[in-house]
């Protein structure tokens, strides 16, 4: 049996663990840069605020206190996700994290009843010990487990745990009610094409013949149909398997056309990418640099260039990659555009230990494995960007906006949750703190004004 443990509104739930006042309130979490809504509490969904709503449209509601909008706090979410995975690892024989808030658990050798009981116990334990609400879907295959989880979330009568054994009448009845577009791996486009062939529900897909599916669509879809029948035929690639490409990109806090600013952002992304590259012990053979203007601003000139710079020999040296990034940017940068986003992608990765040395192009620069390892170690221990390559870290336009980020309760000693020993203690302490800051400000203002007053005399 395969189980899918999926946290409900994960980002919002993480925030609520440490901010009980958000319980029962409409809460949204905004994307990097406070751009748009990327996570919503059930209460916010009930207000008909769709995913991806630009944050500025909700600013009024936020200021009136009708809704809470938070900047994304990835340190917190990442830590809670690690804890969730660890808790599952302690309880199940095998666990495979699928995303930050979804984990597959593999329960071999347990009866159906035991699986369901374990699912309920896990759900309770995660709620109690971590404070996170989750739903559990159980089934013989990944695809069915995903559907079971979907059902557990949609219908309260499952109480968060739904088991589809794949063969009985309940499975049939449920699959007949699920539109094919809700099946894992079937997108909207594919669903439209399937509808032409009269495949509308998950059950229809399950009953489709294997050969025409392979012929008219793809092997992947044929496999999905097989999985719906209860035959496992999809393996999850482990997340820690080396990735084939590594990308780091961010939107700018404010659009910019200045070469130096764009370059600075790209340098930061390149260093981050190189770090990821070394972590998975790969070498890159090419570097891609890309820039985007704001496609929603029809009044501005649009430009989405990219440049691909092959490296003379596979490398994980930050300096080599930075060099390539500068070349790439010089190729594509044009001064009259306002760029919204910039990114660096490392391509054609090879294993650092197994790559073939080139006869014609021996490693150009002396590789300094110790230098890079030391840099990575220091940055890991002292925080990202403690050591960086030849750039000033002045607050620039491209740095992230995160005006409403909550404290990083689990990863920073100076941002712990404050707990009062009596009702109102925390509020009183915060009021005191504010008053102190105000007084400080006043004193400073008084100081500067007296200084100014003395200036003319001097």
Partner 1 sequence: MPGQSSHFTPALPLTSQPQPCGRAGFSGFPSPAQDYEPCTLDLNTRLVKNPTETFYVSATGDSMEGWGIFEGDLLVVDRSIEPQLGHILVAMLEGEALIKRYALYRGTPHLCSTHPNYPPLPLEGSDCQLWGVVRAVVHEYLR
Binding interface with partner 1 (CB under 8 A): 20-21, 23, 83, 86-87, 90, 128-131, 409-410, 413, 416-426, 428-429
| Minimal distance, residue 414 CB to partner 1, in Å | 9
Nearer to partner 1, 95 or 262 (CB): 95
The closest of 196, 208, 205, 201 to 174, measured between CA atoms, is 201
The closest of 233, 231, 176 to 205, measured between CA atoms, is 176
Nearer to partner 1, 86 or 167 (CB): 86
| Minimal distance, residue 402 CB to partner 1, in Å | 22
Taking CB atoms within 8 Å and a gap of at least 24, the contacts of 209-218 are 217/190, 217/193
Nearer to partner 1, 26 or 343 (CB): 26
**Could you tell me the two tokens for 285?**
């053979």
- Residues 262-294, buried b or exposed e (16+ Cβ, 10 A)? bbbbbbbbbbbbbbbbbeeebbbbbbbbbbbbb
Nearer to partner 1, 376 or 415 (CB): 415
| Minimal distance, residue 194 CB to partner 1, in Å | 43
The closest of 441, 318, 305 to 374, measured between CA atoms, is 318
Nearer to partner 1, 21 or 211 (CB): 21
87 contact partners, CB below 8 Å, separation of at least 6: 125, 126, 129, 130
Compute, in degrees rounded to 10, the torsion defined by CA atoms 25, 31, 36, 38: -60
| Minimal distance, residue 217 CB to partner 1, in Å | 43
| Minimal distance, residue 72 CB to partner 1, in Å | 20
β-pairing, 27-30 with 68-71? parallel
Nearer to partner 1, 423 or 456 (CB): 423
| Minimal distance, residue 95 CB to partner 1, in Å | 13
Nearer to partner 1, 67 or 274 (CB): 67
Q: How far apart are CA 333 and CA 291, in angstroms?
A: 8
| Minimal distance, residue 81 CB to partner 1, in Å | 12
The closest of 7, 9, 40, 38 to 149, measured between CA atoms, is 7
- H/E element, 183: none
Three-state secondary-structure class, residue 231: coil
- H/E element, 351: strand 350-351
260 contact partners, CB below 8 Å, separation of at least 6: none
| Minimal distance, residue 110 CB to partner 1, in Å | 22
Note whether 389 and 267 are within 8 A (CB): yes
Nearer to partner 1, 91 or 391 (CB): 91
| Minimal distance, residue 364 CB to partner 1, in Å | 44
Instruction: Concatenate the DSSP letters of all residues of 2-59 into one string.
Output: EEEEEETTHHHHHHHHH-GGGTTS-EEEE-GGG-BEEEE-HHHHHTT--TT-BGGGGH
Instruction: Concatenate the DSSP letters of all residues of 367-390 into one string.
Output: P-HHHHHHHHHHHHHH-TTSS-SS
| Minimal distance, residue 190 CB to partner 1, in Å | 39
| Minimal distance, residue 411 CB to partner 1, in Å | 10
Q: List, in sequence order, every residue forming a beta bridge with 137; answer none if it has no partner.
A: 4, 162
CA 188 to chain centre: 22
Nearer to partner 1, 15 or 34 (CB): 15
Nearer to partner 1, 21 or 189 (CB): 21
Nearer to partner 1, 123 or 268 (CB): 123
| Minimal distance, residue 106 CB to partner 1, in Å | 20
411 contact partners, CB below 8 Å, separation of at least 6: 75, 76, 79
**φ/ψ of residue 122, rounded to 5:** -60, -45
Nearer to partner 1, 8 or 379 (CB): 8
Q: How far apart are CA 181 and CA 394, in angstroms?
A: 47
């Amino acid at each position: 049996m395969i189980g899918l443990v999926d946290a409900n509104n994960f980002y919002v739930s993480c925030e609520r663990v440490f901010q009980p006042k958000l319980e029962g309130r409409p809460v949204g979490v905004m994307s990097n840069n406070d751009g748009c809504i990327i996570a919503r509490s059930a209460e916010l969904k009930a207000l008909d605020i769709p995913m991806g709503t630009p944050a500025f449209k909700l600013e009024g509601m936020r200021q009136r206190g009708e809704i809470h909008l938070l900047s994304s706090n990835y340190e917190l979410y990442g830590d809670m996700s690690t804890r969730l995975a660890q808790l599952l690892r302690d309880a199940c024989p095998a666990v495979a994290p699928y995303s930050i808030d979804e984990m597959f658990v593999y329960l071999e050798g347990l009866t159906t009843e035991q699986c369901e009981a374990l699912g309920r116990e896990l759900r309770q334990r995660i709620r109690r010990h971590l404070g996170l609400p989750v739903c559990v879907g159980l089934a013989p295959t990944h695809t069915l487990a995903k559907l079971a989880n979907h059902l557990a979330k949609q219908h309260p009568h499952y109480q968060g745990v739904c088991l589809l054994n794949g063969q009985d009448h309940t499975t049939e009845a449920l699959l007949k009610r699920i539109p094919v577009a809700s099946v894992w791996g079937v997108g909207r486009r594919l669903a439209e094409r399937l509808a032409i062939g009269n495949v509308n529900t998950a059950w229809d897909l399950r009953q489709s013949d294997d050969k025409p599916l392979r012929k008219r669509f793809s092997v992947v879809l044929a496999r999905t149909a097989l999985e719906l029948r209860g035959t496992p035929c999809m393996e999850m690639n482990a997340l820690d398997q080396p990735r084939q490409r590594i990308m780091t990109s961010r939107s700018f806090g404010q659009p910019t056309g200045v070469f130096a600013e764009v370059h600075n952002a790209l340098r930061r992304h390149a260093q981050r990418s190189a770090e990821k590259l070394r972590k998975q012990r790969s070498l890159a053979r090419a570097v891609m640099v890309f820039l985007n203007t704001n496609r929603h601003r029809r009044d501005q000139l649009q430009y989405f260039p990219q440049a691909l710079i092959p490296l003379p020999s596979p490398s994980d040296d930050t300096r080599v990659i930075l060099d390539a990034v500068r070349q790439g940017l010089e190729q594509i940068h044009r001064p009259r555009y306002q760029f919204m986003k910039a990114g660096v992608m490392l391509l054609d990765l090879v294993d650092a230990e197994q790559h073939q040395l080139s006869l014609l192009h021996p490693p150009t620069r002396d590789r300094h494995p110790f230098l890079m390892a030391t840099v990575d170690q220091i940055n890991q221990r002292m925080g990202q960007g403690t050591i960086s390559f030849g750039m000033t870290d002045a607050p620039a336009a491209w740095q992230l906006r995160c005006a409403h980020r909550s404290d990083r309760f689990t990863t920073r000693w100076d941002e712990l949750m404050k707990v009062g020993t009596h009702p109102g203690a925390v509020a009183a302490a915060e009021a005191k703190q504010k008053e102190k800051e105000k007084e400080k400000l006043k004193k400073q203002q008084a100081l500067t004004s007296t200084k100014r007053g003395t200036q003319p005399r001097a």
